[in-house]
Amino acid sequence: MTQIPGDITPQIITRLKKVQGQLGGVVRMIEEGRDCEELVTQLAAASKALNRAGFTIVSQGLKECVKSGDSSGIDEKKLEKMFLALA
């Protein structure tokens, strides 16, 4: 796979920092004894944001291979493993 292109790196970093903040909020909510439903809602939002960051990284690798026309550069087993790791 290729490295993350510089033009999407800030997007991914921003998304991951938001997840980091959400998780900090969840920890505080637990410490404060907040409602379980609120906790699950926040955890689901953090999980979705984290998955989107991961899928963005994987899909960018595919885009780069397609753009360059180098389908031989796609390691199908590695790609499948990466997608399944996010599932």
29/85 Cα distance (integer angstroms): 28
Instruction: Give the residue with greater pLDDT, 2 vs 55.
Output: 55
pLDDT at 83: 76
| Domains contained in the chain, CATH given | 10-86 (1.20.58.1000)
How many CA atoms are closer than 13 Å to the CA of 6, on its beta-carbon side? 0
pLDDT at 27: 95
pLDDT for residue 9 is more than 90: no
Residue 61 burial (CB count, 10 A): 20
6/8 Cα distance (integer angstroms): 6
pLDDT for residue 1 is more than 60: no
pLDDT per residue as tens digits for the range 53-76: 888 888 877 776 666 665 566 677
